[in-house]
Structures are given as structure tokens and as C-alpha cells.
């Protein structure tokens, strides 16, 4: 690991650290995002975590010019890794390097249209994580995410993106400050101390569910994730929200990660059911392929086994908190809402 460059060093500590792990997107979107951070009215730093495989996507000169024009950006750092650790682990590395106690995790396809400092101002002893209203870049009248809700169906929990695809003028009931079980990883803020206390992102999840997993563990540990409807950002993405459109490899990650996070938040008494359910869906997944049924079935089982170490570690961490938020988590699964003043 090495630092590629650090610009605009400041004697003042940043009030927030914006962490981006660019993956698969063209460089121009990352440049657009960094340029849009000029809307921020507090001092901030930007930390970009990438690997040698993605390095060619980063135009150092263009980024330098954009950062020089953003007077509130007190420092920018690009961390180059020899191997691609996956999005979740890259975010952990960025968090460890952050100089502020307020972390903002952002996809590189986010565009800011207003100051996001109010999000940081609301992080306090009663709110540890917060998400703005995400609107679609292509049509800002359409909601991308208003955070997550949770349902318990057929013995397991399911995260559901609130209001995705709905028109903004028709979701008045969702436009209130309220506690949610998890927030969308495309853009949200979290206190560094809370993130570290629960063990950070699960690096074994690699592709998706890392945001849901983190939110569920924060909630069960007694922390609060809050949706802030009066702060709005634009999001181009949506790569992982349509399960039916996932390719075979991505569907494999979806299947394995979904069951891995169930093991963290469910009592040991239902583990046998979760494993049985996983095997049923793994068999269905393998049979859906045109070839390589046995190889695919073995692969998804191997992936789940690899995640058990992280499952066990996070369960031990949650025990230290005595599961103070488990009642809230279960109430949310029963559709109970928790408005925040």
C-alpha cells in the first residue's frame, strides 16, 4: 500500500472525511463528484482508495486542478493497493486513514448539488449514522433511496429500499426524520468511533450487502441510523438494486451475502433453518446455469464457509453491547416506525 499523492495540506483538521473507492466507473464520474464537493461549506478531506488494477482510471492532473479550486478541501489522498480488496475492505482502509471523526462514504457516481454539512452537524450522542435523500441523477424528481426498511419473511430478514423509483411529490409520508435499520451505501455519514466499535465493514462480503450488514449491526448494538430528507444528493447508479437483472456471478454474491448477514442477526436456534434455506437456494441457483452445476454449487458453499469467520467475529462484538438495540431491530421488522425529533 502506498500514497500516490496528497494535496492542499492544511494545519486545520478536517470536519469530515469523504471516502471513495472507485470501481468500474469511468474516471469522468469521479471527477464530477469531486468537483461537486465545492458545495460543502466546512473543511473536508477526500480519501480515494483504489488498487493498481484501477489506477489507470485516475487522472492525477485533472483531480489536482479540481481540488485546487475547492477551497474547503484541506487535503486529498489517493491510496494505491497492490490487490483489489473489494469495496467493503477498501472503505475500512479509508476509515483508518481518515483524520476526522466524521466519515462520509460515497460511491463515485454521486453528484452533490448542495451543502451536506447539515448531515455532520446532526451526528451526536443520539445519532451515529445518517443518510440524505438520494435522487436519481437522470431525473431528480424520481427517488433513488430514502433509506431502508426491513421485513421478516419466511423466517429471515429482508432489507427493502424505501421509495425507490417513486416520484418525489408522492412520498410525503417518508419525508420525515426517522430511525431506520440500515442506510444505502451509495452515500451516508457515520461516526468513526461507532464504525470501529462494531468492527467496521465486513470485508468478506466483497460486493454487496455491506451497507445493510453494517446498518443492522449498528442498530442491534444500540446505535441509531437516521434518514434526513431535507438534504438531497443525486445518484447515477443502481447496479445492485434489481435482483432479477443480476448476472450469474453477481447473483452468486447476492445469495451468499444475504444468508451470511442473516447468521449475524439471528439467534443460534434458527441457524439450522438458515443453512437449510441457503442450500435450497444454492441448488436452485446452480441448476439455473447452462453448465457447471456441480462446480457452481460447490463454489457458493465455499463462499459461505469463508464468511463464517467474519460472522463469528461480529457476533462476538455484538455480545459486548448486550444487543441493546435488538428490540428496536425486531420492532422495525414488524413495520414499527421511529420518528426522530
Q: Is the confidence at residue 2, as pLDDT, over 90? A: no
Q: Count the domains in the chain.
A: 2
Residue 71 C-alpha cell reads as 477551497
Residue 194 C-alpha cell reads as 461507532
Q: Which residues pair with 75 in a beta bridge?
A: 45
> What is the pTM for the complete model shown?
0.93
Percentage above 90 pLDDT, the chain:
70
Q: Which helix (H) or strand (E) holds 77?
A: strand 73-81
Residue 335 phi, psi dihedral angles, 5° rounding: 75, 20
Average pLDDT over every residue of 98-102: 95
pLDDT at 241: 47
Q: Is residue 147 part of a domain?
A: no
Q: Is residue 316 part of a domain?
A: yes
Q: Is residue 223 part of a domain?
A: no
- Find the radius of gyration of the CA atoms of the chain: 20
Domain boundary among 109, 128, 143: 109
- Could you tell me the CATH number of the domain that includes residue 85? 3.90.550.10
Decide if 190 contacts 103 (C-beta within 8 A): yes
Percentage above 70 pLDDT, the chain:
89
**pLDDT tier, 339 (very low <50, low <70, confident <90, very high otherwise):** very high
Q: Is residue 6 part of a domain?
A: yes
Whole-number average pLDDT of the chain:
89
Q: Is residue 118 part of a domain?
A: no
Determine which of 155-159, 201-205, 234-238 has the lowest per-residue pLDDT on average: 234-238
Domain boundary among 56, 86, 109: 109
Q: How many CB atoms lie within 10 A of CB 180?
A: 26
pLDDT at 240: 45
Domain boundary among 85, 109, 133: 109
Q: Is the confidence at residue 314, as pLDDT, over 80? A: yes
State how far Cα 308 lies from the chain centre.
20
pLDDT at 191: 98
Q: What is the pLDDT of residues 258-286, one digit of tens each?
A: 999 999 999 888 999 999 999 999 999 99
Which residues, other chains included, contact 234 with Cβ-Cβ below 8 Å and sequence gap of 6+?
110, 111, 112, 113, 134, 135, 136, 137, 140
Ramachandran quadrant class, 275 (left: phi over 0; alpha: psi -120 to 50; beta: rest): alpha
**pLDDT tier, 217 (very low <50, low <70, confident <90, very high otherwise):** very high
> Torsion over CA of 236, 240, 244 and 250, rounded to 10 degrees?
130
Q: Is the confidence at residue 113, as pLDDT, over 90? A: yes
Q: What is the pLDDT of residues 117-137, one digit of tens each?
A: 999 999 988 999 999 999 999
Cα–Cα dist 253/57, whole Å:
25
pLDDT at 209: 94
- Stronger pLDDT, 206 or 138, i.e. the higher one: 138
> Torsion over CA of 86, 137, 149 and 215, rounded to 10 degrees?
30
Average pLDDT over every residue of 13-26: 82
Domain boundaries, position 248:
243-321
Name the burial class of residue 153, with classes exposed (0-12), middle (13-18) and buried (19+) by CB atoms within 10 angstroms of its CB: exposed
Cα–Cα dist 135/266, whole Å:
33
Residue 139 phi, psi dihedral angles, 5° rounding: -150, 95
Q: Which helix (H) or strand (E) holds 149?
A: strand 148-153
How many CA atoms are closer than 13 Å to the CA of 339, on its beta-carbon side? 5
Q: Is the confidence at residue 310, as pLDDT, over 90? A: yes
Q: Is residue 132 part of a domain?
A: no
Q: Which residues pair with 187 in a beta bridge?
A: 106
Residue 189 phi, psi dihedral angles, 5° rounding: -115, 150
Looking at the chain, list the stretches that DSSP marks H as alpha helix, in order from N- to C-terminal side: 27-36, 60-69, 87-97, 117-121, 192-197, 210-220, 248-265, 271-287, 293-320, 326-333
pLDDT at 54: 60
Q: Is 54 helix (H, G, I), strand (E, B) or coil?
A: coil
For residue 330, CA distances in Å to 55, 141, 219, 241 come to 43, 33, 10, 23
pLDDT at 28: 82
Average pLDDT over every residue of 324-338: 95
Cα–Cα dist 17/104, whole Å:
6
Q: What is the pLDDT of residues 248-260, one digit of tens each?
A: 788 899 999 999 9
**pLDDT tier, 335 (very low <50, low <70, confident <90, very high otherwise):** very high
Q: Is residue 315 part of a domain?
A: yes
Q: Is residue 139 part of a domain?
A: no
- Stronger pLDDT, 29 or 220, i.e. the higher one: 220
Which residues, other chains included, contact 263 with Cβ-Cβ below 8 Å and sequence gap of 6+?
271, 274, 308, 311, 315
Amino acid at each position: 500500500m502506498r500514497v500516490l499523492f496528497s494535496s492542499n495540506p492544511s494545519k486545520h483538521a478536517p470536519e469530515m472525511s469523504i471516502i471513495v473507492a472507485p470501481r468500474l466507473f469511468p474516471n469522468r464520474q469521479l471527477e464530477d463528484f469531486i468537483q461537486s464537493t465545492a458545495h460543502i461549506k466546512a473543511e473536508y478531506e477526500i480519501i480515494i482508495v483504489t488498487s493498481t488494477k484501477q489506477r489507470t482510471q485516475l487522472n492525477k492532473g485533472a483531480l489536482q486542478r479540481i481540488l485546487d479550486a475547492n477551497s474547503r478541501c484541506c487535503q486529498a489522498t489517493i491510496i494505491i493497493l497492490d490487490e483489489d480488496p473489494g469495496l467493503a475492505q477498501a472503505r475500512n482502509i479509508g476509515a483508518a486513514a481518515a483524520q476526522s471523526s466524521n466519515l462520509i462514504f460515497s460511491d463515485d457516481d454521486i453528484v452533490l448539488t448542495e451543502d451536506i454539512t447539515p448531515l455532520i452537524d446532526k451526528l451526536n450522542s443520539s445519532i451515529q449514522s445518517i443518510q440524505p435523500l438520494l435522487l436519481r441523477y437522470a431525473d431528480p424528481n424520481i427517488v433513488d433511496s430514502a433509506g431502508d426498511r426491513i421485513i421478516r419473511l419466511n423466517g429471515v430478514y429482508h432489507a427493502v429500499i424505501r421509495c425507490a423509483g417513486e416520484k418525489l411529490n408522492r412520498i410525503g409520508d417518508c419525508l420525515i426524520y426517522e430511525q431506520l435499520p440500515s442506510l444505502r451505501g451509495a452515500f451516508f455519514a457515520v461516526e468513526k468511533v461507532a464504525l470501529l466499535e462494531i468492527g467496521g465493514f465486513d470485508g468478506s462480503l466483497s460486493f454487496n450487502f455491506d451497507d445493510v450488514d453494517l446498518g443492522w449491526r449498528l442498530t442491534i448494538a444500540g446505535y441509531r441510523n437516521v434518514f434526513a430528507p431535507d438534504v438531497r444528493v443525486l445518484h447515477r447508479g443502481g447496479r445492485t438494486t434489481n435482483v432479477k437483472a443480476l448476472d450469474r456471478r453477481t447473483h452468486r454474491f447476492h445469495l451468499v451475502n444475504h444468508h451470511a448477514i442473516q447468521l449475524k442477526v439471528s439467534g443460534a436456534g434458527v441457524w439450522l433453518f438458515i443453512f437449510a434455506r441457503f442450500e435450497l437456494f444454492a441448488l436452485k441457483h446452480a441448476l439455473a446455469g447452462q453448465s457447471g452445476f456441480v462446480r457452481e454449487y460447490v463454489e457458493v458453499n465455499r463462499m459461505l464457509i469463508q464468511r463464517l469467520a467474519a460472522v463469528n467475529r461480529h457476533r462476538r462484538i455484538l455480545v459486548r453491547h448486550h444487543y441493546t438495540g435488538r428490540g428496536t431491530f425486531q420492532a422495525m421488522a414488524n413495520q414499527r416506525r421511529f420518528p426522530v425529533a
